[in-house]
Amino acid sequence: MKTHRVQPGQAVHLDRIDPQDASGFDGGKADGLKKLEKLTARLDELQELLYADHTRAMLIVLQGMDTAGKDGTIRRVFSGVNPEGVRVASFRVPSALESDHDFLWRAHQQVPARGEMVLFNRSHYEDVLITRVHGLIQRPVWERRYREINEFERSLTEEGTTLLKFFLHISRAEQKLRLKERLDDPTKHWKFRESDVEERQRWTAYMEAYEEALTRTSTPWAPWYLVPSNRKWYRDLFVSQQIVNALEGLRMHYPPLPREFRTTRVR
Ligand code: AMP
Ligand code: MG
């Protein structure tokens, strides 16, 4: 599969990336869904191994515009995984207590422990995105935050956490369709918020904020992946393949039976 990975130092231009692209997989939707099924089963095994091995942790960051599919990705990619094995942390407008702390405080509280896999549905990146777009912070602050984010993520990886960051890239036209669906489909009304249409008006400002954030925080230790996400099957397939690859690369093993149990007999 294509890597869709942002190389450190590479300038991201989102308008040059086709959200409809599915060329990274040779096969269509039907084959893609079959492969996804295999990957979800494999992910379940690897998650168990991660827990059993208990030396590593995995943090997966999902970012994207409203309707880009952060919730859908979580639902599909982890559909086969033991619910005890994964935890989702969602980041909303900061509470009073959170606002009284540095912006990384609430993120740090949610990072995975050894053996754990945690999904960030939005993340500390909101603090260089929505805050910037709404004029709550100015350039010196977001510049400083890029550095702080990189240092934070570096320390996590040095302590044994594997970090994968996915930007789910949809087109503005696709977002329009998905928002309309939220208004038209009774089973989707609950998802609709007024802020969805308001934020949509700031699309260009968001793209600028994203481009700079993705450019400045794709590091050798915590790379960004730009996932073409207009096609949901391709988005899910790509994300699960990356997670499986990353876990397989960790060379984990099931711990051996401790010496004192080697002569134990079950009667
Ligand atoms: P949702 O993900 O649809 O539940 O929406 C959560 C909302 O919280 C989004 O509009 C985010 O932009 C907003 N949000 C998340 N983190 C922050 C933050 N640090 N500052 C301001 N708004 C935030
Ligand atoms: Mg939303």
Domain with residue 25: its CATH number is: 3.40.50.300
Residue 85 belongs to some domain of the structure: yes
Which ligand sits closest to the CA of 198? Answer: 1
Closest residue by Cα to atom 1, ligand 1, is: 92
Separation of alpha carbons 99 and 141, rounded Å: 15
Overall number of domains in the chain:
1
Residue 255 belongs to some domain of the structure: no
Q: Which domain holds residue 62?
A: 5-249
Quick one: pLDDT at residue 85? Answer: 87
Residue 263 belongs to some domain of the structure: no
What are 219's two structure tokens? 């590091």
Closest residue by Cα to atom 5, ligand 1, is: 92
Distance from the alpha carbon of residue 198 to the mean position of ligand 1, in angstroms: 13
Show pLDDT as tens, one digit a residue, over the chain (267 residues).
Answer: 678 999 999 999 999 999 999 999 999 999 999 999 999 999 999 999 999 999 999 999 999 999 999 999 999 999 999 999 899 999 999 999 999 999 999 999 999 999 999 999 999 999 999 999 999 999 999 999 999 999 999 999 999 999 999 999 999 999 999 999 999 999 999 999 999 999 999 999 999 999 999 999 999 999 999 999 999 999 999 999 999 999 999 989 999 999 999 999 999
Distance from the alpha carbon of residue 195 to the mean position of ligand 2, in angstroms: 8
- Provide the whole-model pTM: 0.97
Residue 106 belongs to some domain of the structure: yes
Residue 264 belongs to some domain of the structure: no
The side-by-side arrangement of strands in the sheet containing 57-64 is 86-90, 117-121, 57-64, 161-169, 224-228
Residue 170 belongs to some domain of the structure: yes
Quick one: pLDDT at residue 119? Answer: 98
Residue 35 CB contacts under 8 Å (≥ 6 apart), including other chains: 25, 27, 237
Closest ligand 1 atom, residue 103 Cα: 19
Residue 265 belongs to some domain of the structure: no
Distance from the alpha carbon of residue 194 to the mean position of ligand 2, in angstroms: 10
Residue 261 belongs to some domain of the structure: no
